[in-house]
Structure 1
Amino acid sequence: MVYLSLCCRGLLAAVFLLAVAGKARSRTAYTAFAASLDDLRWLPASLRRLAPPALVLTEAAIVVLLLVPDTAALGSAGALALLAAFALGIGWSLRRGEEVRCLCFGADRGALDASSVVRNAVLAAGAALGLLSTLLAHDPASAAGTALALAGGAALGAVATRWDDLHYLLFSA
């Protein structure tokens, strides 16, 4: 269980780290990200102003929580809650026929669609698995196993951040 926990933590930490880096890499990137949240009509206007900094800070906090062993379960729970909220929010917007764009990883990849809901649901499942395995993991991990599990998870996280590109390559013909 300990290596599954580490792999899930590596996956989630990579996804959220790349998300924070993409949004906060420059003032222009952050401003564009913040503007993209204006399309979330289900979010009250007063909260839309607070959402960009709150989201970036929350994602950064999740990365730190995931990487510190004593707070890994809290980081996994936070990731699960945030990813579930993303999936539900995108799904809600799509159901209402709204076109939503999100610069999730710092670049505009076009309007979000059902595959974005699937990506966030899959990542939420990874967070749930990470939370469960973290709570059940009692055996110590070797240094090599830890490095391998975290690196493998991080590699999967990097792939997950390219979900839109993979979806296009696999399903657009």
Structure 2
Amino acid sequence: MPTRSVPAASALPLHIQPATEQDIPTIIGLAEATWEPTYRFIISKEQIDYMYRVIYTPASLRRQMREQHHTFLLAYVDGHAAGFASYSEKPDSIYHLNKIYVLPSHQGQGLGQHLVQAVISAVREARGLALELNVNRHNPALAFYERLGFVQHREEDIPIGPYWMNDYVLRKEL
């Protein structure tokens, strides 16, 4: 995906670019700042801590990039990392938005929408037919995704260690 600059709703300079393995410390820093505030009212602290340790170690992020072929995008506002997204291809030209997180200080300014649009553009460029994502059934972000045109496709319960994620799978046809 080419590097792109797009105007942000907040009128701050926004720049979205693909991440590399050298950006893993930046991704971890963003995850540390966003993970707990995102999930504190949805799942237990023990589950938050467990999932974070599984998903956001340097080794896990390298594995996601190398073996699971996740493409990460980093969003910079005024030259500072403010959010990230990752996506990957599934069978039948369906893509999955694996992650999208925006610093709490930058939420509500259109950055999440720009990250989703950057993923949609990349998926369309790759001739993808649809973009899916999982969202916890109690996550307020559900309304955000619906505003962007995603619709409920199915429900899915996913075991993560001793815990469960009770999700909706949302889909946007492209």
The structure whose RCO (Cα within 8 Å, separation 6+) is larger is 1
More helix by share: 1
More strand by share: 2
Normalised to the residue count of structure 1, the TM-score between the two structures is: 0.31
